[in-house]
């Protein structure tokens, strides 16, 4: 995807609510012990959870924070904005999981983002990050 295509996909994800924020380590690698080094596809390509199950418990999906459930951070250094596709499952009020998502922005958050819950960015490199323009509860650093 080129920059214009990414920008368009970001705005569509925000408008439709089909997005999540997650953290990762260098190269799209999930830092979570549960994910055991799971590697996401390159920016703009869809990643599919190999063990997807739409049940309300951890595991079996791609995890992150979203407007309806925030406060989860698995400890990665880089903040990532993803577009999601398909069923979204809210888990423990602090995270969601999906079966399919694609990384669109690494190391930055888009303008126009709204959160209805907390946003945990602890441990992430926030250099140059502009926080969401509306956050109803709190941001955890």
- Confidence band (pLDDT; 50, 70, 90) for 130? low
Residue 139 has pLDDT above 60, yes or no: no
pLDDT of residue 140: 45
CB atoms within 10 A of CB 61: 24
Give the list of residues 6+ apart from residue 122 with CB closer than 8 angstroms, or none: 73, 140, 141
Is the pLDDT at 32 greater than 50? The verdict is yes
Is pTM beyond 0.75? Reply is yes
Domain count, the chain: 1
> How does residue 141 score in pLDDT terms, banded at 50, 70 and 90?
very low
Q: In this predicted model, what pLDDT tens digit does every residue of 5-27 receive, in sequence order?
A: 999 999 999 999 999 999 898 88
pLDDT higher than threshold 90 for residue 106: yes
List Cβ<8 Å contacts ≥24 apart for 49-56: 49/97, 49/98, 49/99, 49/100, 52/99, 52/100, 54/87, 54/89, 54/99, 55/89, 56/89, 56/90, 56/91
Q: What is the DSSP string of 33-90?
A: TTTTT-BPPPTTSEEE-TT----SSSSSSEEEBBTTB-------SEEEEEEEEEEEEE
Q: What is the pLDDT of residue 131?
A: 62
- Give the pLDDT confidence of 54-82 residue by residue, as tens digits: 999 988 999 999 988 887 787 888 889 99
Give the whole-number percent of the chain exceeding pLDDT 70.
84
Cα separation, 136 vs 45, whole angstroms: 31
Which domain covers residue 118, as residue numbers?
A: 3-140
């Amino acid at each position: 995807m080129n920059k214009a295509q990414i920008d368009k996909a970001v705005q569509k994800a925000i408008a439709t609510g089909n997005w999540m924020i997650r953290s990762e380590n260098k190269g799209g690698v999930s830092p979570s012990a549960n994910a055991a080094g799971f590697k996401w596809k390159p920016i703009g390509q869809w990643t599919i959870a190999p063990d997807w199950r739409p049940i309300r418990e951890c595991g079996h999906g791609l995890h992150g924070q979203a407007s309806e459930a925030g406060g989860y951070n698995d400890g990665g250094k880089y903040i990532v904005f993803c577009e999601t596709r398909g069923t979204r499952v809210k888990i423990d009020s602090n995270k969601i999981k999906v079966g399919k998502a694609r990384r669109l922005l690494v190391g930055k958050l888009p303008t126009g983002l709204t959160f209805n819950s907390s946003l945990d960015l602890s441990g992430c490199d926030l250099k140059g990050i502009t926080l969401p323009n509306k956050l109803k509860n709190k941001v955890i650093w």
